[in-house]
Chain A
Amino acid sequence: MEIDKIIHEPARLRIMMILSGVEQADFNFLLTTLGLTRGNLSRHVEKLESAGYLKVKKSFKGKVPNTGYELTQKGSRALTQYWEDVDAIRQLGQSL
């Protein structure tokens, strides 16, 4: 059993968990909720995007550009699998 290393990182796990609860969240929301720096958040988001776990939606709110993030089906499946693996490891640890 191998834990998904992309999701296992604390900030990325939190990003994935936030996105699994809503349809879409924008950059600002993730920034204020996680307390990361802009650069750091961008880097984590890029990693998740390149893994195909989330997709970026660029739009305009009036005249202001807005970047929203959405969890993909692949991301949703990976997150479910991640928790199943974590729970299995925890149970294994308890039984030892």
Chain B
Amino acid sequence: MMKPEVYRSLGLSDKEYRNILKILKRKPTNTELAMFSVEWSEHCGYLHSRKWLKTLPKTGRYKALIGEDSGGIILDGLAIIFKMESHNHPSQLEPKQGAATGVGGIIRDIFTAGARPVALLDSLRFGPLAQAYNKYLFTGVVDGIQFYGNCVGVPTVGGEIYFDESYNGNCLVNAMCIGIAKKDALVRARAHGLGNPIMYVGSSTGRDGIGGCSILASHEFKAGEEKRPTVQIGDPFTEKCLIEATLEAINTGHVVGIKDMGAAGLTCCTSEMASAGNSGMDIELQAVPRREENMEPWEVMMSESQERMLVCIKKGKEEQIKKIFFKWGLNASVIGQVTGDGLVTIRDNGKIVAKVKAHSLTKAPVYDMPYKKPRYLRKLNKLALSKILKPKDYNKILLRLLAGPSITNKAWVYEQYDHMVGTNTVVLPGSDAAVLRLKGTNKAIAATCDCNSRYCFLDPYRGAQIAVAEAARNLVCSGAHPAAVTDCLNFGNPRKPESFWQFKNCVQGIADTCRVFNIAVVSGNVSFYNESPRSAINPTPTIGMIGVIKDVAKTCSQNFKEEGDSVILLGYCREELGASEYLKEIHRVTAGRAPQLDLRLEQAVQKTALEAIGKGLVNSAHDCSEGGLAAALAECCVSNKDKMIGANINNLYYNMRADALLFGESQSRIILSCAKDSVEKVRKIALRFKAPFCVIGRTGGRFLKILNGIKELIYLPIEDLSEQWRGSLKKRIEG
């Protein structure tokens, strides 16, 4: 009998170990134990989440593609492949390399499908910048993304950055990659065809990252723990060569299947490729290119060295494929072949060190976890508006909100990222969604990622619904039809019923809302155990969404374009301040419930905006989100620094608190601007879709002026708005 310390130190429970004994009908070898420990880790095996992930819709209005490691949609003859993945724990320990390898890993998931990576987005969350360690994390993560993304030549075109106390001690780094392929050129992560060679390509194998997924990603942080050796080191130059070599190899038509050696490295690739192909594999570890001496077989199987892949190719084509990888200065070595016995057989110098059924490794146990609504919500969800003091000077409040870390312009970050390489970026970062043209067609795709985790904390189901609705709204504002979703689900410890309740409700919120929008969830990732010694993070189901623009000439962005245009509000304002940025930033209150969401209203508003943009009637479109109507209008005024335009909003007649009108975060609102003679046409569209429509004012001048009735609430020079919105992040970082 193996000592419990051994398997427990690898992250396996007593029950899981007994299960392994039952499967093997004998004691596992060290290598087998290591293999089970990584394949049955939360990160690879989705033990706690799988039951609920099954409820997500897998079909939608665009034909969905669901692969082993990524998913996508079909658009004419093209496949748009995309996925978002977390690299939270490594980034918390070593922000630069953690973020860099997160980017590297997600790019590999895309090009191993045969798609050329064309864009990256990142959703980042940290504790408040006032704490020195959070500043270190934030600047380190940005540095890691620029270090990797810029060199590898994939533009970072969008994303989101939030700061909240709940991320103290556990930051979130979610990276999303989009790739394009001809639809017939896609490759799966499968090995089949008796006797077909299994080839190892890319970097050599070292001891870096051993146990990254089982030890690091599948447990929460405890005070004083030293986990840095489990973080991998990235080499974007090698990855760039690997992209080119892999796509060239796939192009020969001789590649049967291919998979990135990411989490759980060679273990994951051998067992999952064999399992997905209903085959077996016989591997000789001595053939694995190495960068360190005297590695034990289990170390080779567990290593998470970066920029490596396993490829199954057609027999007889070994030399042709090797030549391509050699040309790019990469390793390529045949390390085994496909067998028909369904077993993963691992040899070291001919001696068998592991022999396990591939299916048994990949069918990790599924746990049905208990869940319970947290008690604290009963109190937190109650918000007595009467107890929130009404501010005297709304101008000051607006300026403070614009300068707040979550709303402020993020140019300090995205100007460090090459967001133009590839010459596809038609709408640059800083608008509601990034837009990429599809060369050779007149279409474009738009991409965004969204999640307001404060909403999810106070109401997980509705918060997740809003994340989907807002992502769709952002795409619509760029002129895109929402098409498909990837989700990156960041939560606390699933063994805590309160955490699991958050998870379950968020997944249900995503599933239900995607069904209403008729869009599929084509790929995703779950990251549990996001807890610091003090507490769990806010539940954060980040939604990455792709949309389709049918005519690239009809894209739209958020900034006002012309003086004298009419400003239109689609949707309407409710008196709701719960969970708002305003309450948090100004009153230091996190309470109430997430704003209401009426999906029928949401769709009416989105359809109106889409049709108006599609018909070329509209000059700008912007979603109202954090900071409400006032912040959104301010952004419309100043977000093009070469051409800032003021506005006079003088047709609002709401009987409600002024702070709720200005800063409340009612959903389903879009601000449009259009030439005066287009107003009636837009109104007719709104009428047809039954979307609330109101001309609320006019663009022009050097001031943003907002009145409710005849009462002036906001009167500010656009230069002041711009200064607060534009300059504050840099000031916070560089002083």
Chains A and B come from one and the same complex: no
